[in-house]
Structure 1
Amino acid sequence: MNASIFKTLPASKGRRTEVRAGRPPKELAGEVDARILDAARRIFLARGFEGASIDEIAEVARSGKRTIYARFQDKRALFTEVVLRDILSRIAEFKFEAPTGATVEERLTSAATTLMHWGFDAERIGLMRLAIAEAHRFPDVAATVSRRARELSTEIGVHLLRELTAHDELGSLPAFAPEHLPTTARLFLDLIAVPMLLRALFEVDLKRLEPEMDAHVARGVAFFLAACRNSWG
């Protein structure tokens, strides 16, 4: 597990004092939920599913076990919510800054590079590894994450390509026609993001990938645009 995260957590104890729990004011309920989920993410990343306990999550969240169980049926439900929130919700919330560059190729490279560096967050990759490792225990969660992550990232790709080609000659190519754009966006992401993602899942130190990332994106974008300009079928 992640040693740096593990060191920041309190040492396991034989018995923990139950924190008095009650229903928080309505305006604080969201903050309590977020605090529990953030604490659960830290513990799951550090201990794994089997090693994590509701006692320790409650301690890190500064909450009572009854408060947690009022929101989540058991540790399985809490794990499911952590994975879905921290992988899928964060993909859905991603926003592009205005890409820089004088040409479409430069702007697309800029946007794709931003997406790659954002996506290769250590905790996000850690949760993906954990979801994969626990796929036998949570097959529905693993399948949902895989399917929805693909759908959400395709939506991001469609939005990006539509924006960048709206006022460029590329927009008139068959690959960027509305009926083809989802497929084109998926091919773009499979070419640019998926190879590096697979490497990140097996690379312990993600910083080792950073020097390669920009060059990989630049090569992939050039290849992608050349293919779009010369063929479609």
Structure 2
Amino acid sequence: MHDQENQQTLSRAERRAVILDAAASVFFERGFAATSIDAVIERSGGSKRNIYDEFGNKQGLLIALITETADKALAVLTVDHLRTPNLHDTLLEFAQRLFTNYMSPPLLGIFRIIMAESSRFPELAKAFHEKGPGRAVKRLAELLEDASNRGEIETVNFKVAADQFLGLLRGNLHLEVMLGLRPVPDKAEAEMFVRSAVGMFVKGLRVENRN
């Protein structure tokens, strides 16, 4: 826990990071509904005023956590850094990075909270989708459109295709991990799973596979 004196010496950005770190640990342990601002303060130090001034309320705190977690996850999916003349290689790099994010403790924690709380707090589910999966679909759709413009794949509804690929990439494996039915796959299993998904998807879209 960060005491009051330490809190006073932190910059606003540092204090924000400390609060979000503490909030993540409490949210992931207890869920959104059972988490109190007091419980977050017990771990972060500071005061309720710090949290209310920065985040507004508990919901604002979780939305900020969702946003920052999504921003970090999507930073490795910058389209300009992933564009290559070969869709298979581009998609493989994209998928490996995204799969690693899917299986990371922060994103698994966020997924679990949203799954548990979405019916009672639909605005949280909306914020999560807009900040995370929705942005990933947009970036992937851009990569698919590039490949189509090169004549490498058919012209299709790129958003639908991107949605389908992300579903293929998560599959039951992600659900089983989220439910605690199995551990996160090791490097070899993850590589096999991602390569299989990419190979299957690209094969179905290639121009030469169409009549």
Q: Same fold (TM over 0.5)?
A: yes
| Percentage of pairs with the same residue | 23
Do the aligned partners of 2:63 and 2:128 also contact (CA within 8 Å) in 1?
Answer: no
2:71 to 70, 75, 89: 89
Alignment match, 1:59 = 42
Gaps (5+ residues) in structure 2? none
Report how far residue 107 of structure 1 moved. Answer: 5.1
- 1:121 shift after superposition: 0.1
Residue by residue over 1:181-220, the C-alpha shift from the partner in whole angstroms, topping out at 9 and shown as x without a partner, is 3333333222223444333322355334654322222222
Q: CA RMSD in A?
A: 3.7
Counterpart CA distance in 1 for 2:98 and 2:57 is 34
Is 2:192 aligned against 1:215?
Answer: yes
1:225 lines up with 2:202 in the alignment:
yes
Which of 149, 155, 167 matches 1:190? 167
- Between 217-226 and 204-213, the greater mean CA deviation after superposition: 204-213
Cα distance between partner residues in 2 of 1:85 and 1:135: 19
Alpha-carbon distance between aligned partners in 1 of 2:93 and 2:65, rounded to the nearest angstrom: 31
CA deviations 1:65-106 (Å, max 9, x no partner) are 2222222333333233323432x333442336977xxx7535
| Count of aligned positions | 206
> Residue type matched to 2:42 in 1?
E
Segments ≥4 residues shifted beyond 6 Å = none
Runs of 5+ in structure 1 lacking a partner? 1-9, 11-17
Larger radius of gyration: 1
Structure 1-normalised TM-score? Answer: 0.69
**What is the TM-score with the length of structure 2 in the denominator?**
0.75
AA at the equivalent of 1:90: K
